Structure 1
Amino acid sequence: MRSAHVVSVVREAEQALMARLPEGALMRRAAMGLAIHCARMLPRVHGSRVTLLVGGGDNGGDALFAGASLAARGACVRAVLAGRRVHPEGLAALRAAGGRMIDNGPAAASGAPGAQRNFGTHGEGGAPRALITAEARAAVLDADLLVDGLVGIGGSGGLREPYASLAVLASDAPAAVVAVDLPSGVDADTGEVPGEAVRADATVTFGTYKPGLFVDPGAVRAGRVSLVDIGLDPELPEADLVRPQAVDIARLLPVPSAEDDKYRRGVLAVRAGSDQYRGAAVLCVGGALRTGVGMVRYGGGEDVLSQVIARWPEVVGLHLDPRSSTDLGPGRVSAVVVGPGRGTHPANADELRALLESDVPVLLDADALNLVSSSVALTELVHRRGAPTLLTPHAGELARLLPDTDRAEIEAHRLEQATRAAKLYRSTVLLKGSTTVIAHPGERTVVNPTGTPLLATAGSGDVLSGVAGALLASGLSGQDAAMCGAYLHGRAAVLAREGAPISASDLLDALPLAVAEVTTGRPPGRA
């Protein structure tokens, strides 16, 4: 697992570590790691042009000390000073190594001869918000590498000027950008971006990952993220947020043994699809089968059932009109998936009520979520369930599940809203989207690393329901089933067509490849 900690925890850990170290030692550790990563991003260090964007805090100090190291190796290093203050020891180190200073603080920018206005970024009434000196602008635009040391993990509420203008200029510049700890303008705890923010090609973070590096929109601005060990681990408590790796998924995935039979591997009941949305049933059932569930018991209307059996003859089918029957079907059932394409007729609520009153794990998706959001009685049933319950909404569905919340609010505050929903419904919540967030009451939040825009296609959520449902039926907890399901779903999307556009049906053939990749540790096709 890659672990992330919120700012307050990081600050406390840093203070404890610094109390045992010589003054300035922690910053120098961070700066050395930063300098090494910067050097790797350059074709050669000697003669390269490196421009540091330097704020007034420790983040700027890290950049200055790293710049001093690069200057000592022959790089032409210029530091654009954006604030009223500057880290004095870092500035002295850079000067001693031969680096140059360019003052672009508020006073310099507003009165310097040749100052350039803010290149299209305007405030109220179209008035320019800030000034950037011509010298600072030239240093940014002709650099081989830009180092973003404007604002560190303590920044919040959006970038002020001239930081905001420098962030825009750096993001549009031709040089690669490496961010110090996290891109300036990104909230370290949430990934939220309340205004302008640097868009980095790489981020070098220190001691531990920060949640904002894993969650969009912050994650997409961080680029490739590298962690520098500065000795913080012994001071850190359990992570606030984790991002699993393939090895973590492999440890959780059920592996059939010689003693297993189809019942031990899990029996999943699927209540998906309707005359209007027959494909939802086919995709959901396929997702479960291709993930390795022991048996699928499908119940649905006659036409949908025949289509499911035609595509998946191994399914045990039950003619069950959801508008007139709430039967779970004969035989043992380990878990149930309900909702994809099922409909929101009042009689569908009767089926859902019966499932929620059962003692088996239940995954609620799509129409099942819409029914819950419109019924106090169903909501109360979810609250009172003793068996695991997994909700898999997209942002619009979650907005309906949460009072006084709209989709934009969900998208802007994904961590907060997923955690809020998990507590409110006393369930595991898998919030689908650009960053899939998995929250469970009292547990650390999980973010999925395999998300891809390829999954933004009709029916992909139906497949995910089947995948996660199969894992739930195998005996995994709601949170582990959601985490493993999301990971495999994302990998299948990439493997299906080697990164080319896909349809949801393509995921079905790629799921076994994703499972094999995770369990063997090798890309598909390699011995």
Structure 2
Amino acid sequence: MINAYTGTQIRAAEAGLLQGQDGASLMRRAAHGLAHHIMALLRARYGGVYGAHVAALIGTGNNGGDGLYAMARLAGRGVACTAILLGGHAHPEGLEAFTRSGGRVVSGGGTPDSSARAQARRFREASEALADVDLVIDAVLGTGARGAIALPEIPADVPVVACDLPSGVDADTGAASDGVLAADLTVTFGALKTGLCVGAGRRLAGNIEVVDIGLEDLLGQPDLRVLTSTDAEAATPRPTSQDHKYSRGVLGLIAGSPRYPGAAVLAATAAVNTSVGMLRTLAPERAAELITQAVPEAVPADGADVRVDAWAMGPGIDDDPAQLAAVEQVLGAGLPAIVDASALRTLQPGQGHARLILTPHVGELEDLLVRVGVRATAADISEDPVRWARWAAVGYSSVVLLKGHTTICVAPDGYTIINLNGPAPLATAGSGDVLTGMLGAMLATSHAGGGTRALVELAATAAYRHGDAARVAGQHGGFGAGQLARVAGQGSF
């Protein structure tokens, strides 16, 4: 897995590293990596480096210093460089290195006591300096800075490279202030940062490259981990030559209602195609008929007292009294289960346990938190999703999989894995029902061993495979949840 750290952790590690060396050498190391990735982007986009025109938006702190040192390196490779200073001053040593390289300096902002007319004129001059550039570097605010920023207008077709992180993105949470400039590439220093993986930060960061500046021995435990394809492949349960249908895992599925019979079909189809040993389904009459037509290998169940290895509960059950009663029966028995959709509404804090995986979206997480006495709006959750998913995991003593463009999987002890393999076409009706079927099948097949951390890894792996299935389903154009369910379990491994 790839470790990610908060900005607070990174700054503490940098402080430890600086005890043994001067800050300028650390800054030059970061700048070397930044310049390397900028040159790679210039070659890929324009065919070469020499003669390109690069402008950098330079802040007053160390982030601006990183940008200035990088620009000095670019100038040495034949790049025409313009530094646009957005404050009354810039990092002294970095500015000196840049001016020695022959770069051009433009004042693009002003001091706090500058008149509005003077600041407007400087912004105009900065915009003029950006009119014919081939690439823009955002080196205004770094990991320790927060708050709204005002930036000159960037031409729409010019690629943007963020130095360490897009200015205005919180490195700890991914929250973004107004006016953040979306990057095509973020070159971040020391380690991957949480704020580049979650919330608005993920959308604004573009592609991410990490530059090693020697922090690895000083960072300690990561804030979270990012699942890779290799991790997902290793964590996927697989049958052996000695297995039979029962030893491979039996999943019970409580899904569907008179109003939403299709959700049961989607979950059942996905479960079977994710290679569960046997599927037992508990559904109202119409949903049961549709399941039998779509998935003839599914075995109807008369109630929730059948023998299974795990349950998946909630897709499409709406407010059906019999279905909700079955959910409550499973919750009361303490069995391994996926709790999704309307099944989440029946869950009370005291019913949570270490073998449950809750799969809310943001609105459902808001409701879950209220029941454990935690007030957080949907906007609060979107701004800092890891924090609120952790609150819910503690409140219900269960694993939480928070759905979204970044899937966040959390154990009650705070152990967190995220999945970034979530293609945009997954935002379609019924996609969550497919994920529930896939995750349920994997939970049954794994026999729920290994504790909550193992369940977090299993949940993240299911989300990863859900993303892989979306890529398979979309190979020949758009797709709906029905096609996604039919290819569940297919992908890169």
Q: TM-score, normalised by structure 2?
A: 0.93
Match of 1:4 in 2: 4
Structure 2 residue 125 is the aligned partner of structure 1 residue 135: yes
Secondary structure of the structure 1 residue equivalent to 2:188: strand
Match of 1:380 in 2: 350
Aligned counterpart in structure 2 of residue 364 of structure 1, from 339, 350, 359: 339
**Cross-structure match for 1:148:** 138
* Contact 2:51 2:78 (C-alpha < 8 Å) held by counterparts: yes
1:275 aligns with 2:264: no
Q: Which residue number in structure 2 is paired with residue 75 of structure 1?
A: 79
SS of residue in 2 equivalent to 1:238: coil
Question: Amino acid of the residue matched to residue 435 of structure 2?
Answer: L
Per-residue CA deviation, residues 110-145 of structure 1 (Å, 9 max, x unaligned), is 5598x684xxxxxxxxxxxxx643321112222111
Of 335, 360, 368, which aligns to 1:393? 360
| Alpha-carbon shift at residue 499 of structure 1 (Å) | 7.1
For 1:167-186, list aligned pairs within 5 A. 169-170=153-154, 172-186=155-169
Amino acid at match of 2:396: Y
* Alpha-carbon distance between aligned partners in 1 of 2:308 and 2:38, rounded to the nearest angstrom: 55
Shift of 1:424: 1.2
Using the TM superposition, give the Cα deviation of residue 102 of structure 1 relative to its aligned residue in structure 2, in angstroms: 1.0
- Per-residue CA distance 1:47-104 (angstroms, 9 max, x = gap): 2111011111111111000000011111111111112331111001001110111122
**CA-to-aligned-CA distance 1:154-207 (integer Å, 9 cap, x gap):** 112x224xxx233xx23x543110000100011111111132211111000111
Q: Structure 2 matches for 1:457-476, cutoff 5 A? A: 457-475=428-446
1:55-454 equivalence runs, <5 A: 55-107=59-111, 110=114, 117=120, 132-156=122-146, 158-160=147-149, 164-166=150-152, 169-170=153-154, 172-320=155-303, 327-329=304-306, 332-372=307-347, 378-382=348-352, 385=353, 387-403=354-370, 404-454=375-425
User: For 1:235-287, what per-residue CA distance to the aligned partner results, in whole angstroms no more than 9, with x for missing partners?
Assistant: 12121011111001011111221111222221110011122211111111111
- Residue 523 of structure 1 corresponds to none
Residues of 1 paired with 2:476 and 2:200: CA distance?
22
CA displacement at 1:455 relative to structure 2:
1.3
RMSD, matched Cα? 2.0
1:512 has 2:489 as partner: yes
Equivalent in the alignment of 2:466: 489
* Matches of 1:235 and 1:364, distance apart in 2: 39
Cα deviation, residue 345, structure 1: 4.1
Distance in 1 between the 2:89 and 2:156 partners? 25
**What displacement does 1:228 show?**
0.9
Match of residue 38 from structure 1: 38
CA distance in 2, matches of 1:503, 1:496: 8
Q: Give unmatched runs, 5+ long, in structure 1.
A: 118-130, 321-326, 373-377, 520-527
Q: Which amino acid aligns with 2:313?
A: V
Corresponding residue SS for 1:141: coil
Report the Cα distance in structure 1 between the residues aligned to 2:476 and 2:40, rounded to whole angstroms. Answer: 27
Contact preservation (8 Å) 1:333, 1:360: no
The 1:434–1:132 alpha-carbon spacing in structure 2 relative to 1, beyond 3 Å, is: farther
Deviation of 1:410 (Å):
2.2
When residues 86 and 499 of structure 1 are mapped into structure 2, their CA distance, relative to the original with a 3 A threshold, is farther
Change (3 A) 1:99 1:293: same
1:447 positional shift: 1.8
> AA paired with 2:384?
H
For 2:37, give the aligned amino acid. H
Structure 2 CA distance for aligned equivalents of residues 109 and 37 of structure 1: 37
Q: Work out the CA distance in 1 between the residues paired with 2:406 and 2:35.
A: 30
CA distance in 2, matches of 1:294, 1:154: 51
Query: 1:398: Cα distance to partner?
Result: 1.2
Q: Which amino acid aligns with 2:66?
A: D
Note closer, same or farther for the CA distance 1:216–1:500 as it changes in structure 2 (3 Å cut): farther
In structure 2, give the amino acid aligned to 1:221.
Answer: L
Provide the rounded CA distance (Å) in 2 between the counterparts of 1:335 and 1:8.
Answer: 40
Q: Which runs of 5+ in 2 are unaligned?
A: 449-453
2 CA distance for matches of 1:497 and 1:238? 38
Distance 2:151 2:114 in 1: 13
Task: Name 2:451's counterpart in structure 1.
Answer: none
> Residues 15 and 499 from structure 1, CA distance in 2 versus in 1: closer, same or farther, beyond 3 angstroms?
farther
Counterpart contact for 1:141–1:175, Cα < 8 Å: no
Read off the aligned partner of 1:212 and give its amino acid letter: G
Native 8 Å contact 2:254 2:327 kept in 1: no
In 1, are the aligned partners of 2:251 and 2:309 still within 8 Å (CA)? yes
Give the 3-state SS of the residue equivalent to 2:301 in structure 1: strand
**Secondary structure at 2:127 match in 1:** helix
Query: Normalized against structure 1, the TM-score is what?
Result: 0.87
Whole-angstrom distance in 1 between the partners of 2:298 and 2:319: 25
User: Is the contact made by 1:300 and 1:319 (CA closer than 8 Å) also made in structure 2?
Assistant: no
1:51/1:145 contact within 8 Å kept: yes
- Using the TM superposition, give the Cα deviation of residue 25 of structure 1 relative to its aligned residue in structure 2, in angstroms: 1.5
